[in-house]
């Protein structure tokens, strides 16, 4: 699986409803992560899987993670990202 991911092999897209798709993606990412390594917290709150979602955070508050707000994030790169639409 790691070799396929590194060679940019594409994954088949399956059409489902939104809630099932999010749950399925989270489960798939958890499994892929465990295949590649050991599970660890994603942030100081202990989240194991992070969701990028506007939950009404205040972008002007320095203690707010920008991905919890409606504000656009500046260009950046992370060590790794898995994306589910």
In this structure, are 25 and 50 located in the same domain?
Answer: no
| DSSP-assigned states of every residue in 17-29 | -HHHHHHHHHHHH
Residue 70's pLDDT is 93
- What local confidence, expressed as pLDDT, does residue 6 receive? 55
Is 49 a member of any domain?
Answer: yes
Total domains present in the chain: 2
Asked, for residue 32, whether it belongs to a domain, the answer is: yes
Same domain as 50, residue 33:
no
Are both 64 and 31 inside the same structural domain?
no
pTM of the model: 0.50
| Contact assessment for residue 57 and residue 64, using Cβ atoms and an 8 Å cutoff | yes
- CA distance linking residue 53 with residue 69, whole number of Å: 7
pLDDT mean across residues, the chain: 76
Range of the domain at 20: 1-39
Centre a 10 Å sphere on the Cβ of residue 66 and count the other Cβ atoms it contains: 14
Is residue 32 domain-shared with residue 57, that is, in the same domain?
A: no
């Amino acid at each position: 699986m790691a070799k396929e991911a590194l060679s940019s092999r594409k994954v088949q897209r399956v059409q489902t409803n939104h809630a099932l798709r999010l749950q399925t993606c989270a489960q798939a990412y958890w499994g892929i992560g465990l295949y590649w390594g050991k599970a660890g917290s994603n942030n100081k709150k202990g989240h194991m899987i992070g969701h990028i979602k506007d939950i009404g955070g205040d972008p002007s508050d320095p203690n707010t993670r920008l991905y919890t707000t409606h504000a656009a994030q500046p260009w950046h790169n992370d060590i790794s990202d898995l994306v589910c639409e």
